[in-house]
Amino acid sequence: MTHLPILRHGVAYRSVDVVTVVHHRTRQPFVQISQANTGLIRRDLLRQDEARAELAAIPARDLIAMAAHAAELFMTATLPLDPVDGVTQSPQDYVEQLSSTTGLPHVLVRRNMRKIHGVLSQMGDVIAGLTRGLDISVLDTGVGESDGHLFSFYPRGHSLGVVLPNNSPGVHSLWAPAIGMKTPLVLKPGSSEPWTPYRIAYALMQAGVPKSAFCLYPADHAGGGEVLRSSSRGMFFGDASAARRFKGDSRVEVHGPGYSKVVIGNDRIDHWQDYIEVIATSVADNGGRSCVNASGLWVTGHAEAIAHALAKRLSQVVPRAADDEQALLAPFADAGVPGRVSAMIDADLAVAGATDVTAQYRGAERVKTTPDGTYLLPTVILCDSPDHPLANREFMFPFVSVVPVDEDALPELMGPSLVVSLISDNGDLRDRFVRSPHVDRLNLGPIPTNQIGWDQPHEGNLFDHLYGRRAIQRVA
């Protein structure tokens, strides 16, 4: 059986403690993953200053060139997987392995590969976006000058620790730029999707980034906590309850549910038919598994007609085989989850004021089991008000609530939203969204919520997270 070892500053280590992950469909053991004990993590990370020094000695431009080379390797090369046994991984192996443990269709894995390729190959642009166009050499010297003004940045610590999710490989594009910013990585891979962080790490190492910049510690929750505590800066991905544990810890950037939304203002609402494709893409692309997928459609009119049109459109999204190029839905790695999620939705539907309008297009059953796995079918809920328990929820499948709302109450009524695509030319409404502290990423116009511009940071700014700015003066 394939084995994924721990990477301790780039060196493979097999633990006595292993977890076996099964193939989502056959339920047969598929991969063994070495588990790191917390003491091992702590002890390794005592040496992070050395790892940081080794990485920092390389000019940032060279690191960006290495990342570009790694992008090609990630897409095309056969890379190590288990150096202990000499096992390697081709790009096709990666696609199939990732699909085997998560259920993600091959076509979606490839689409996510391209996303990761994008961030690696354009790391210079990404960092320029994060630094608002600073000369990258400021990362080498710590001091720069702009329009005659001196500025200085300092690294806030020796490493970035990240507790990674399983939902979609695309999220790994968020931490990858840390390497270009001279920050070693300490990663706790997801339990069913460890494949991507390993492949990115091996691609970067083969491209010349020092091995010491990569610690990968598959572990239990305690190990994940240790990764965050022992790293000077952290990122945490998890569901709402897990994310709450790290709220208030300024060292840790928390990535919980996105509650992303499409909003249509009064001025465009009569043209809603024009936006059904943008909305459907926002909801269902990538199987609805990303925090940038829309889970809310907040409209100022025609709610029922829009809900039905969207439900009809999304009912075309059906389970297909993992290697079907048209596949858009992913089965759940744990076949028990769809039933439990569906039951949660039904429990809230018992509260008056919401209807599952998809039922009349796809049938009443929300859960479907095929030879390829157990799926949750796209679901459109029509709520009668923003107060309904289902009005602002997020699940890991194409799920969206259509919520009628008074334009004057926007955006305050929506609460925090990772992405909002605002379809309106109303300057006053746009201004209110621009000023809102609740919107992390704002798309003005009919742009799918999941369309990412790499020069535009969202979910916090990695550069600001890793570097602090200090005042500086010097004798002329």
Partner 1 sequence: MSTTTLPSAMEAARQRLDAWVREVIEWHFDPATGCPFWLNWAANAGWDPRKEVHAYADLDKFGGFQDEWLRGGPVRQWVPKGYAGKPVYIFETGGSTGVPKARINIDDFRIDYENFSKTLPDDAFPMGADWISIGPSGPRRLRLAVEHLCQHRGGICFGVDLDPRWVIKLLKRNAFEEVELYKRHVIDQALTLMKAHDNIKCLFTTPKLLEALCERVSVKKLGITGVFCGGTEMTPQFHRFAVEELLDGIYFAPTYGNTLMGLATHKPPTVDDNWAIIYFPPAPRAMIEVVDPDEPTRLVGYGETGRVRLTTLTKEFFMPRFLERDEAEREAPCDQYPWDGVRNVRPFSKFATNVVEGVY
Min dist CB 30 to partner 1, Å, is 22
Q: Are strands 439-444 and 379-383 parallel, antiparallel or unpaired?
A: unpaired
Min dist CB 218 to partner 1, Å, is 12
Closest CA to 378 of 319, 300, 453: 319
Min dist CB 10 to partner 1, Å, is 17
Query: Should residue 48 be labelled a site residue for partner 1 when binding is judged by CB under 8 A?
Result: no
Please check whether residue 163 is in contact with residue 253, taking contact to mean a CB–CB distance below 8 angstroms: no
Nearer to partner 1, 33 or 311 (CB): 33
Tell me the C-alpha distance between 261 and 299, whole Å. 10
Min dist CB 75 to partner 1, Å, is 35
Nearer to partner 1, 245 or 430 (CB): 245
Min dist CB 211 to partner 1, Å, is 19
Window contacting partner 1 (CB under 8 A); options: 9-17, 277-285, 428-436, 437-445:
9-17
Tell me which of 124, 144, 190, 225 binds partner 1, using CB under 8 A.
225
Nearer to partner 1, 249 or 334 (CB): 249
Query: Should residue 17 be labelled a site residue for partner 1 when binding is judged by CB under 8 A?
Result: yes
Closest CA to 6 of 230, 214, 145: 214
With both helix axes pointing from N to C terminus, report the angle between 91-102 and 106-121 in degrees, rounded to the nearest 10. 120
Tell me the C-alpha distance between 268 and 265, whole Å. 6
Query: Should residue 46 be labelled a site residue for partner 1 when binding is judged by CB under 8 A?
Result: yes
Query: Should residue 103 be labelled a site residue for partner 1 when binding is judged by CB under 8 A?
Result: no
Query: Should residue 220 be labelled a site residue for partner 1 when binding is judged by CB under 8 A?
Result: no
Which positions from 234 to 273 touch partner 1 by CB under 8 A, shown as an x/- string?
-----------x----------------------------
Query: Can the peptide bond before residue 197 be classed as cis, meaning omega within 30 degrees of 0?
Result: no
Query: Should residue 60 be labelled a site residue for partner 1 when binding is judged by CB under 8 A?
Result: no
Please check whether residue 306 is in contact with residue 272, taking contact to mean a CB–CB distance below 8 angstroms: yes
Which positions from 332 to 371 touch partner 1 by CB under 8 A, shown as an x/- string?
----------------------------------------
Phi and psi of 382, rounded to 5°?
-100, 115
Query: Should residue 35 be labelled a site residue for partner 1 when binding is judged by CB under 8 A?
Result: yes
Min dist CB 15 to partner 1, Å, is 5
Nearer to partner 1, 35 or 290 (CB): 35
Tell me which of 12, 31, 32, 37 binds partner 1, using CB under 8 A.
37
Nearer to partner 1, 40 or 414 (CB): 40
Number of residues near partner 1 (by CB under 8 A): 14
Tell me which of 20, 28, 29, 43 binds partner 1, using CB under 8 A.
43
Window contacting partner 1 (CB under 8 A); options: 15-23, 119-127, 136-144, 334-342:
15-23
Min dist CB 219 to partner 1, Å, is 10
Tell me the C-alpha distance between 99 and 66, whole Å. 28
Q: Which residue has the tokens 């839905």?
A: 329
Q: Which residues, at least 6 apart from 316, have a Cβ–Cβ distance to it below 8 Å?
A: none
Query: Should residue 49 be labelled a site residue for partner 1 when binding is judged by CB under 8 A?
Result: no
Tell me which of 10, 15, 74, 231 binds partner 1, using CB under 8 A.
15
Nearer to partner 1, 131 or 191 (CB): 191
Please check whether residue 44 is in contact with residue 161, taking contact to mean a CB–CB distance below 8 angstroms: no
Q: Are strands 367-370 and 233-237 parallel, antiparallel or unpaired?
A: unpaired
How is the beta sheet containing 233-237 ordered, strand by strand?
11-13, 6-8, 214-216, 185-188, 160-163, 233-237, 252-255
Min dist CB 161 to partner 1, Å, is 13
Please check whether residue 103 is in contact with residue 242, taking contact to mean a CB–CB distance below 8 angstroms: no
Tell me the C-alpha distance between 195 and 1, whole Å. 15
Closest CA to 311 of 338, 345, 291, 284: 284
Please check whether residue 102 is in contact with residue 433, taking contact to mean a CB–CB distance below 8 angstroms: no
Query: Should residue 40 be labelled a site residue for partner 1 when binding is judged by CB under 8 A?
Result: yes
Q: Which residue has the tokens 């008074």?
A: 406
Run of H or E residues at 113:
helix 106-121
Tell me the C-alpha distance between 150 and 153, whole Å. 11
Phi and psi of 325, rounded to 5°?
-65, -20
Min dist CB 231 to partner 1, Å, is 13
Tell me which of 26, 27, 39, 336 binds partner 1, using CB under 8 A.
39
Question: Which spans of this chain sit near partner 1 (rule: CB under 8 A)?
Answer: 15-17, 35, 37-40, 42-43, 46, 225, 229, 245
